[in-house]
A and B are shown apart, each in its own frame.
Chain A
């Protein structure tokens, strides 16, 4: 079952904040966030694991509500470089890898 992302698109001015939501009708074990700039490959941002563990390497934060089966990505003080389409992927991390189902994406545009 594909996770649902909202909003579909958001336009910001540099320095403004944004929240992107990802919800699932199935139990979530992990939520993976990727960003894809136009014409480029998706790039890993962050993973949130059941139990609260979080791994990431950018100044972007996220939350994971296991009860509500939701995750939210928080982009604060947005920069022009944040523009792109954000995808959440859900699935289990197994010894054979992570079999992810991605949402439709949220298109973020940051203007000067």
Chain B
């Protein structure tokens, strides 16, 4: 079974530039999550989708971050404009539908460096 795919794996940009990350979840997984993991910290949930609808985006800085999940499969997370404090690993995860939704499968992440 193929895992969660993310691209790019690494990205270096200057502050005020824009960047986009792509995620392809495991086939058949209804729920998709985007997390931000700052070095030395635990993952922080940014946004959660179920199929193509947003379940929770309360921690997404909406003035600069946006995300979409078209057709309930792939998802894109965008930052525009980037700030220095956005430097982090952005993890995408997916899970099966309830009642098997407790296990989240994480992708390898995208390491973003903002200079």
Binding site for B on A (CB under 8 A): 2, 30, 32, 40-44, 47, 55, 87, 89, 93-105
Contact = CB atoms under 8 A, between A and B. Distances in A.
B41 A105 contact: yes
A56 to B, nearest CB: 10
Contacts of A89: 42
Contact of B103 (A47, A87, A102): A47
Contacts of B48: 96-97, 99
A40 B107 CA distance: 9
A106 to B, nearest CB: 10
A96 B31 contact: yes
B91 interface: yes
B75 to A, nearest CB: 14
* B contact patch SS: loop
Closest 10 CB pairs of A and B: A102-B42, A97-B31, A41-B106, A95-B98, A96-B55, A96-B50, A44-B103, A97-B101, A47-B102, A42-B106
Contacts of B55: 96-97, 99
B104 to A, nearest CB: 6
A75 to B, nearest CB: 19
Given A42-B106, A44-B105, A47-B103, A87 B98 contact: no
Given A41-B109, A42-B91, A93-B98, A98 B42 contact: no
A36 to B, nearest CB: 8
A32 B91 contact: no
Contacts of B102: 30, 32, 47, 55, 93, 98
A41 to B, nearest CB: 4
Nearest to B6: A41
Interface string B83-115: 000000001000101110111111111000000
Contacts of A103: 42
B104 A98 contact: yes
B65 to A, nearest CB: 18
